[in-house]
Amino acid sequence: SLREGEGSFERNRSVVRFRNFQRTDWIIMLWIALDFPCLPLETFALASAHAEPWAIADGADVLVCNGPARALGVRAGMRLSAACALAPRLNYRLRDAAAEAATLTALAAWAGQFTPNVSLEPPRALLLDIEGSLRLFGGIRTILQALKRGLDGMGYSATIACAPTATAALLLARAGVQKIVNCKRALEAIVATLPLTVIECDTRAVQTLHAAGVKSIGELLALPRDGVARRGGRLLLDSVDRALGRLPAPREFFTPPARFDAGLELAAPVAQSEALLFAANRLLIQLAGFLAARNGGLQHFTLTLSHERGAATGIEIGLVAPTRDSTHLTLLIRE
């Protein structure tokens, strides 16, 4: 007999009976959203990213830049020519959407160690259905700490949010709100504080609402729904309803590849082993997550180095016993 408040669950041979079995605030699902605002920049292995100013350009405009670039006055959205004039030492590259998509897929395979239910949210977010993994990992905070450690080790910065619905977790992460919302009763009040800009919808509808003084989701919910829908806000309302659990939001889960095969482009040619180890370590942490999702290890892998001129160099590394310890593998690569 398993006691649950005033009720109980009883099993008697093949007969199962429920008596007054009730839960309050029962959460059917719990989602973690990982939003990567600097993914276009972090897609490349920038060994000097913390010391030198770097930016990624989307056409003629700056899409994203790092801390040293911001310290020189460079901002996302400004013209690239103005950024270079403002910061002559600025390093920049053009955005590579295909590389970003490949990086997001590799991160999804790495996240499979925490749950088999990982969903891609292009261009820069992942969603993890984590409810079934809470007991295995010892609670949501342990999972969040492990996610943070792994992402830091790979050199990715992410906003991490947790909520009972996938859409709510995603909106929180997009807004930069790193919060754990673990009951639906508190969800509406928190979502209401978010700006309308976190919802991907018709830009014209958002501009119309902004002109009317409506800038937050709470202010949107206070308006007559029929009037908002007629003025082009139906997608906005549907997104909010999915965030609050009023509408279903089915998702397709990511299927990891059968074999691990990942690459990483360096921002510039390198001649020192430390810069290569910086890049290789990111790949090894991804590999360790890929293996952990399968509860497996490896005894042999190949590290391939591409050169500006000439054929690539393949480094074959074998081990006596299977492992997925990325630190040990990094030591082998260093040798």
Q: Tell me which residues of the chain have a pLDDT lower than 70.
A: 1-28, 45-50
User: Given this model, what pLDDT does residue 108 score?
Assistant: 96
Cβ(124)–Cβ(92) under 8 Å? no
User: Given this model, what pLDDT does residue 50 score?
Assistant: 58
Pairing type for strands 54-58 and 91-94 reads parallel
User: Given this model, what pLDDT does residue 267 score?
Assistant: 74
pLDDT digits (tens, 9 = 90+) for 239-298: 999 999 999 988 999 999 989 998 888 877 888 888 788 888 889 999 999 999 999 999
Q: Residue type at 224?
A: P
Tell me the H-state helices in the chain.
39-42, 67-71, 80-86, 97-111, 134-137, 140-154, 166-174, 187-191, 203-211, 217-221, 225-228, 234-243, 273-292, 326-334
The token duo for 166 is 């996938």
Cβ(168)–Cβ(186) under 8 Å? no
User: Given this model, what pLDDT does residue 59 score?
Assistant: 92
Cβ(217)–Cβ(240) under 8 Å? yes
d(CA 335, CA 318): 13
